[in-house]
Amino acid sequence: MHTMPDDKFWLLIETSLRGQVDQDGKIDALYEALDLLEPQDIEAFERAFQQQMRRSNTWDLRGAAIVIHGGESDDSFEYFQRWLIAQGQATFERALARPDDLATLIPDDAGEPCEFEDFGYVAMDIWTKKTGLDPVDDPASTFPRPSLSRPAGTPVKETEAYLAKRYPKLWKRFGDNPLG
């Protein structure tokens, strides 16, 4: 099984998304970057992407997303994780280490939820185009499938008092005015 080193994964993310201001531009740029790869390299990219999704599947980060959005379903949290990966390695790592720092990492003019559902489909779409295989239903498919798991760590309490204390910077910015 071919793997993609973290540095190559993040380089692909950052170079393909550099200068793109909206999600459509980011999707197009990532499509272009991945379209240059062979199918096995696209699979490696997807495995690296899924690894970052697993790393960011924590209760600490989910609690931050709850404050930012005023609540968080399982799907919304997955789309938040995809958005976070699309912000690049520096922002991603800082948010993992200190989720409350998202208060200063999210642009001041953000009016939409910090979600990026379509970002997670780019590799699969390009791989399907190149191989002609259905990545989910075709028995010949070697495309990696995501593994579902519960967030790591201690579950957060979804009370105002707990969230305001646990995420003071995020609560100050989004507690009364969430993006969701």
Phi/psi for 103 (5° steps) reads: -60, -30
Q: For the chain, how many structural domains are there in total?
A: 1
pLDDT of residue 147: 78
d(CA 5, CA 142): 19
Tell me, yes or no, whether 1 lies in a domain: no
pLDDT of residue 104: 95
Residue 152's DSSP bridge partners are: 58
pLDDT of residue 140: 86
Tell me, yes or no, whether 27 lies in a domain: yes
Tell me, yes or no, whether 30 lies in a domain: yes
DSSP state of 155: P
Please list the pLDDT of the chain residue by residue as tens digits (180 residues): 788 999 999 999 998 888 887 899 999 999 999 999 999 999 999 999 999 999 999 999 999 999 999 999 999 999 999 999 999 999 999 999 999 999 999 988 888 999 999 999 999 999 999 999 999 888 888 899 887 788 999 999 999 999 999 999 999 999 999 997
Q: pTM of the full predicted structure?
A: 0.94
DSSP state of 113: -
Parent domain of 23: 6-174
Amino acid at 33: A
d(CA 20, CA 27): 9
